[in-house]
Structures are given as C-alpha cells and as structure tokens.
Chains A and B, each alone.
Chain A
Amino acid sequence: MDVVIWSRIQFAMTAAYHWLFVPLTLGLALVMAVMETLYVVKKDPFWKKAAQFWIKLFAINFAVGIATGIILEFEFGTNWSNYSWMVGDMFGAPLAIEGILAFFMEATFFAVMFFGWEKVSPKFHLTSTWLTGIGATISAYWILVANGWMQNPVGTTFNPDTVRSEMASAAAFWEVISNPVAVSKFCHAVTSGWVTGGIFVVGVSAWYLLKNRHSEFARKSMLVGAIVGLVGSGAVMLTGDSSGVHAAEFQPMKLAAAEGLQDGGNGAAFTIVPGIKVPKMLSILATHDANGFVPGINDILNGYTDNDGNVVPSVAEKMALGREALDALAVYRGSDEPAVKALAREVIDANVQYIGYGHLSAPEDVIPPVGVVFWSFRFMIGFGMLIALVLLLVLIAVWKDKLGAWKWLLWAAIICIPLAYITGQCGWIVAEVGRQPWTIQGLLPVNVAISSLSAAAVKTTFFVFLAVFALFLAIEIRIMVRAIGKGPEVEPSQNI
C-alpha cells in the first residue's frame, strides 16, 4: 500500500480513537455539572457525592482524550503537509482561537474541579465544573468549523501567488464561522455526546440496581442521565435532518453513497434496508420536497440539472476544467511576463472551483466506498433510535417506579453503552469516508494532501500508535471498570 493509504489509515485511526473519549467528556461534563448545581442549590450533600463519583470517571476518560487530541493536531502537519499549507490560512485562525479560548479554560478549571474541593469555595468549584465542560464544548465548535469548511469550503478564495485558499474580509470570516455545515455538525456532534454521557450514566446505574447496590444513587443518577440523554437525542435527530439537507446541497455524492443510490430522480425513495423502501422519503429528507430531485452516483458522474435549474457538469468535464486551472497555475507561477500572468490568472479564476478535480485520474475516483457509508449510515440511525427509546423507557420507569420490575430494561441500558460508541463511530464514518476522495471537498483530494514521506515511515508510526492506543484502551477500560465496581461511596483516601 502506498503512503496515501497509510496516512489515511493512521489519521482515521487517530480520529476514531479520539472520538471514543470526546463524547463521554462532553456528556459527563453536563451530567456532573447538573448534579453539582443541585448540590449547591439544594445544599444536599448527596448530590456532592454523586457529582464527585462521575467526576472521577470523567477524569479517567479525560486524560486519554487530551493525549489523542494533540496527536491529531500534530498529524495535520506531519502527515498532511500540503493540506496544512493549503488550509493553514483558514484552519489556523479557528485553531488559534480554540487554543486561546478553550484549551486553557479546560485545563485550568479541570485542575480546580479535580483537586479543589477542599481548597476553593463551593461556588468557585461549581463554576469550575461548568467551565470545564463549556471549555470542551467551545473547543468542539472551533475544530468543527475547520471540519465543516473541509466539507463545504466557503468564505475563502484561491490565491495563485501563495497557492492556498485565503480569507480576505470580515464577511469571509463570518461565512467560515457561520458555515451551516459547521453549525449543524457542531450541534449534532455535541448533542450526540450528551446521548453518550446520558446512556453511560444510565447504564452504569442500571448495573448497580441489578446488583442491588447504591440504589438511591443509581435511581437519581438515572433520572439525570436519562433527561440529559433524551434532550441530546432530540437535538441529534433535528440536527441529523439538517445534516442530510446539507449533504444533498453541498456533497451530493456523500448522500448518494449513504443511500446506495445508483440512479437518482424526482420523488426518490428512502431505502431502510435493501429491499425495503419508503416512497418519496429521500426527496423529502434531502430537499424537503416530495418531488425534489436527488442525484444518484451515475447522475453525478454524467452530469445533471439540480433543483434550482443549474446544470452540473459531468465529472469528466470537471476534471478537464480542473486540469486547465492547474496548467494555468503552472504557467502563472513559471512566468514573469505580466501579460502571460494575467491571461493565466483569468483561466485559474474561471475554473478554480474544479481545481481539485484536475488531480483525479479517472471519473470513478469521486465515488466513496459505498457499502461502508451505506451500512454505517443505517447502523447510526438504527442504534441512535434504539438508544433514544431505551432512554425514554428509563424515564418512564423512574417516574412510575418500575425500575425494580423492568429488569430487562436495565440490561438494555447496559447494552446501549457500547452501542452509543458504535453509533458515534458510524456517524463519523458517514461524514468522513463519505467525503472521499476529498480532503477538502472539490479542492484537494487526499492523494495531493500528503507529506513527502515513505510508506514505510508512516506504516511504522501507524503500528506504534496502534500499540499505544491498544495499551491505553486496555488500561482505561480496566481502571474504569474497577472504579465503577468500587462504586460511589465516600472515597476514603484511596489513590485514584
């Protein structure tokens, strides 16, 4: 395999691994902040102990999240050299803002939250707990601004003098940070974290109930967990809908792959699983119009007319235009003649929106792995709905005092914990594998985004990271399981 594949595998592994820890961070942060608020408002020490227990689990999880976050940051440079130059101007600002606004907030107030129970006032401590979670959430926003831009590169123009996409005005910056793809991705990802955190708290509490341990703690935690999880589920569904609309608008190939739609059309049906279709549903979801046109893979390859009457060229035509732009760029950079440069500049500006296509070698390159995207999409939706249903039933059971009677529900809640992780991973597979072959949609395919390294070098670091990740995951799970097994009693001096 070549360096492009190894670089992709390494980055995919790091990102997927990072996302094992982030959703629980986002979700538990909210749960523990709510609990500590109850403690400060009601002055009931029960909630302090409850919050302290979840904070303990939060801390175990937080460490690996931090460790893997820095790997992603470094890999942008180490493995995606061209990418980091070409997007540096756009990516840089959100990343710097993330560093200044979010990272220090998280790091500082995490330490106060963790060590400060006896050192600062309850209100200062509560503020710190909230700020830890808010810091993590702000951090998610800025990194998803960067990711959203890679899905839908708005607000920048290509500058042939520097050979990169640049922001030029306040309006452009606003376009970047209010990119609809970024906003809905942020909401979708953060609230999916609430679902993960919610079902984690509910599942762990269910285990205590099954073991007849810490019953009061478990019931009350379940209530908080189920509410946080359900609010998250609702928001995930709403933002999932807007994600679908955005995919249809900005990344039709991703939607076609997610639907396994070879040939599109008006009033397209939604495939639940192969063989079971809901008529017109895909058009409704994608265009909010029962007769809206949804292009399939072949339509995109061969060109089509979209719902606004615009003619979308075939991929072969886009490749030719992109190649023209690249050739003109070579002329532009190679010449000192103002007249030649001006002419080349015109060609570049006219075709720059297809410049990435100029790097492709065949039209079929634009098709992502359909099977992977198709099934990930279905698992994401299926498991997501199942989790929402379980959370709803838990809430009813708490309310009707049926938790003791509905043992199957407790088991279901426990099973839903790994399902929540699978759901999150599937979501990212749809978003990122569905974007292939693009690093930046339409502008930069993966094979041009890389660093000039040998495949062997990247392969080596891949296996090193794989070993490190496997080790950390094994440790994390063991420590987490022991901490849960020990339970939420007052912790006398045991080393954490």
Chain B
Amino acid sequence: MTYEFLQNYWWVLIALLGGLLVALMFVQGANLHLGNRVLSDTQKRIILNSTGRKWELTFTTLVTFGGAFFASFPLFYSTSFGGAYWVWVLLLITFVFQAVSYEFQNKKGNLLGVKGFRIALMVNGFLAPFLVGTAVGTFFTGSDFTVNKIAITDPASPVISTWGNGWHGLEALGQYHAVLLGCTLMFLAAILGALYVLNNVDDDTIHAQMRRTVKMSIGPFLFFFLSWAVILLVSKGYAVDADGLVSLEPFKYWHNLLAMPAVLVMLLAGVVLVLVSLWLGGFSKSRKGIWFAMPGTVLVVMAVFFLAGFNGTAYYPSCTDLQSSLTIRNSSSSHFTLQVMSWVSLLIPFVVAYIAYAWHAMDRKKITPEEIEGQGDKY
C-alpha cells in the first residue's frame, strides 16, 4: 500500500469518526429537554435514562476521534490542541462534567443536587456540538498559526507550532463563517436528540414534545446550514499543488465538489436523508426518523471532511502563513505507522458488530415510565 493511499484511508476514517461523533450527539441534543417545563420529573428521568445508556458511546467516539487524529495526523494534534487551547479545554470541561453527571445526579450526598448536574448536562448539550462545529468550521476559514520545525534546535523558543494571538482559539468565535457551522451543529444535535427519544421511549407527552422540537428546529437548522454552505462554496479556499505549495484559490470548495462527483452524491444523499427524517419526525406519525437522520448526518459530515482535505486542499489552513497550512500529506504519521494502524482498523467492523449486538439485546424493550419507577439499576 502506498503512503498516499494510507494517508487518504486515514482521512476517510477520521471523517467517518467525525461523522459518527456528530450523529451520536443525539445524546447532547436530547439532554436539552432536562430543562423542558412541560415534562414531569419522571419524564425527564425517562429521557435521562434513555441517553444514559448511550452516552458512553458518544464519549468513547470522541476519545477515539481524538486518539485517531493524534495517531494519524499528529501535526494537527500538536498544532490545534496546543494552539486553539481554550476551545479544546472548554470542550473538555463540558465532557468531564457530563461523564460524572449521569452517575452522580440522583445519588444522595452529591453536593450539587439533581439540578446542578442537569444544568451540567444541558451546558454540555449546547456547547459540545457548538464548539465541535466551530472548530471544524476553522478547517475552512483558517487559523492564526505557524509551523516551523527548525525551532526545535533553538533553546530559547523550541516550540514547533505556535499560535499567533493570545486568544488561543477563542478568536474563532469572531469568525462568523465558523460560528455558522457551530450553530448548525447545535440545532442538528437538538433534532437528532428529539428523533432518538421519539424512537427510544414510550410516552405520549414526550412524543409530542419531541415532534415540537423537530418542527421548531427545522427553520434555524436549515438557515444556518444553508448560509454556511453557500458562503463556503463561493469563498476562497486553500489549494495545495503537487509540490506542497499552498495558495488561495477562488471557489476552491465548489471546484472540489465538481472534481469529486462521489462527494457531491454523498452530500446530496445525506441532505435528502436528513430532510426525510425531518419530515418523518415533524409531520408524520412515524417514529423512525432517527434511522434516516443518523446515516444522513454521517454522510454529510464525511462529505464536509472530504471537501476540506481531498483534491489538493489544506484541511487545517493557516491564514497567517499559508505555507504552514496542514495537509493530509504534510501532517501525517509515517508510512509504517499508518500501515500498522490500518491493519488494526480492520477490527472496526467487529467492534461495530458487538456494539450493535449488545444494544440490540438491551433495547428489545423500550424505556417506559414503569421501568423508571420500578426496581433495577437506572440513573
């Protein structure tokens, strides 16, 4: 297997993990209903227990996404994590609170009370999709950093990747195009959460609330997504030539779309699936919207990653120093490491299979009020 093939293969896997992560953010979206005034406490606990059996999967996907990015494109990890410090730290803290909130919130002696932990889950519900979306948004807007490997020989300032400003990532909040993607993901997560709960729980009031959420989110979601997409397709992009030289190219991402018809098909198919799920969840009696929304989300996110990285594009561009921009070619691990990891990745279908089997076994019975008020382990 050639080096180029392996680099591309790992970019596909990163895109897939990114897609799965966003799709699994139904956990975050559903938790927003912990503040829903119409729902009773038992109904909120139903939702909590419904997401509580899946949150580890979202969390583990985040950890694996980070680990896989570190492993396959370490220069991204060292540049973005060490540079856009505050964005990643904020994201981290919301997830750290999420990780303990399920287990702790209904326990006596938990100091923060049920309310405190539910607020933590809701903060995670808002911020996690927003921050991930904004961070991915900078894949297209560019960031303020330089990469200089010779720095390591300089004892006075040995750091290879340096950020150009003291905001360390927070400046992305001022880049409206990146923020549009953050808002898109926030509403998408709310929609995914509603569709998931609709499917996973048996309770009429909850169902009505979830359908309402879907209806109310459609407008903002489409507005943010379409404006992000239109601006993307008409703006300049970061092109890389065969020698690795980076330059700004007008309509770069539009060109990418035309140059890679398969990506265009993926994108359109994904959008159609999401639209179908919106119709099913908002305007029909069906509870199966989530089965369309999740694959649709995965397809769209993957297409977005492909637009960012393939067809001679710098996926993590530097607007300060174009030649510092990160590409699939200049930021990856060595040929051999990618090869080893590729062999290991062949186990992924096996992992997916056992997760599916375990959840199939666990989800045979839908969650009902009787279960939450009855005996047995729950949150």
Contact = CB atoms under 8 A, between A and B. Distances in A.
Given A88-B75, A95-B70, A474-B111, A104 B82 contact: no
A468 interface: yes
A474 B53 CA distance: 25
Interface of B: 53, 56-57, 59-60, 62-64, 66-68, 70-72, 74-75, 77-83, 85-86, 88-89, 92-93, 95-97, 99-100, 102-104, 106-112, 149-150, 152-153, 155, 157-163, 166, 168, 333-334, 336-337, 340-341, 344-345, 347-348, 351, 354-355, 358-359, 361-362, 364-365, 373-379
A168 B334 contact: yes
Interface string A152-183: 00000001001110111100110000000000
Nearest to A109: B358
Interface in A166-212: 166-169, 172-173
Nearest to B363: A119
Contact of B103 (A63, A88, A162, A333): A63
Interface string A117-129: 1111000100010
Nearest to A177: B340
B336 A173 contact: yes
A92 B341 contact: yes
Instruction: Determine the interface band of chain A, counting residues with CB < 8 A from chain B.
Output: 35 or more
Which of A78, A101, A166 has its CB near the most chain B CB atoms (within 10 A)? A78
Given A88-B78, A109-B358, A330-B153, A495 B106 contact: yes
A71 interface: yes
A451 interface: yes
Given A110-B56, A120-B362, A492 B62 contact: no
Determine chain B's interface SS by DSSP, over half rule.
Answer: helix
Contacts of B379: 495-496
A103 B336 contact: no
B335 to A, nearest CB: 9
A173 B77 CA distance: 22
B155 A359 contact: yes
Contacts of A114: 377
Nearest to B354: A108
A70 B63 CA distance: 7
Interface stretch (A79-87, A216-224, A386-394): A79-87
B334 A173 contact: no
Interface of A: 56, 59-60, 62-64, 66-71, 73-74, 76-86, 88-93, 95-101, 103-112, 114-120, 124, 128, 159, 162-164, 166-169, 172-173, 326-327, 329-330, 333-334, 359, 361, 447-448, 450-454, 457, 461, 464, 468, 471-472, 474-475, 478-479, 481-483, 491-493, 495-496
A78 B87 CA distance: 10
Nearest to B74: A88
B53 A115 contact: yes
Contact of A88 (B63, B71, B158, B355): B71
A117 B71 contact: no
List the 5 closest A-B pairs by CB distance, nearest first.
A88-B74, A77-B81, A92-B71, A81-B82, A451-B82
Contact of A450 (B53, B71, B159): B159
A475 B110 contact: yes
Contacts of A450: 159
Contact of A452 (B82, B88, B89, B344): B82
Contacts of A105: 351, 354
A243 B93 CA distance: 35
Contacts of B344: 93, 96-97, 100-101
A479 B108 contact: yes
Contacts of A475: 100, 104, 109-112
Nearest to A166: B334
Contacts of B106: 495-496
Contacts of A76: 70, 77, 81
B145 to A, nearest CB: 9
B70 A91 contact: yes
Nearest to A125: B361
Contact of B63 (A69, A86, A108, A491): A69
A112 B361 contact: yes
Given A81-B78, A81-B81, A116-B362, A66 B66 contact: no
A110 B348 CA distance: 19
Given A88-B70, A112-B358, A78 B100 contact: no
Contacts of A66: 56, 59, 99
A95 B71 contact: yes
A124 B341 CA distance: 30
A8 to B, nearest CB: 15
B70 A63 contact: no
A330 B149 CA distance: 9
Contacts of A492: 375
B57 to A, nearest CB: 6
Contact of B72 (A64, A68, A96): A96
Contacts of A71: 92, 96
Contacts of B77: 76-77, 84-85, 88
B132 to A, nearest CB: 13
A62 B102 CA distance: 12
A145 to B, nearest CB: 12
Given A84-B78, A111-B56, A159-B334, A117 B358 contact: no
B103 A59 contact: yes
A472 B100 contact: yes
A107 B351 CA distance: 12
Nearest to B10: A96
B102 A63 contact: yes
B340 A93 contact: yes
B88 A74 contact: yes
Contact of B377 (A117, A457, A471): A117
Nearest to A74: B92
B112 to A, nearest CB: 7
A76 B377 CA distance: 36
B140 to A, nearest CB: 21
A70 B337 contact: no
Given A70-B59, A166-B337, A89 B74 contact: yes
A310 B239 CA distance: 54
A96 B67 contact: yes
Contacts of A120: 361-362
Contacts of A479: 104, 107-110
Contacts of B89: 74, 78, 461, 464
Nearest to B152: A163
B90 to A, nearest CB: 10
Most buried by A among B56, B57, B106: B56
Contacts of A60: 103, 107
B153 A326 contact: yes
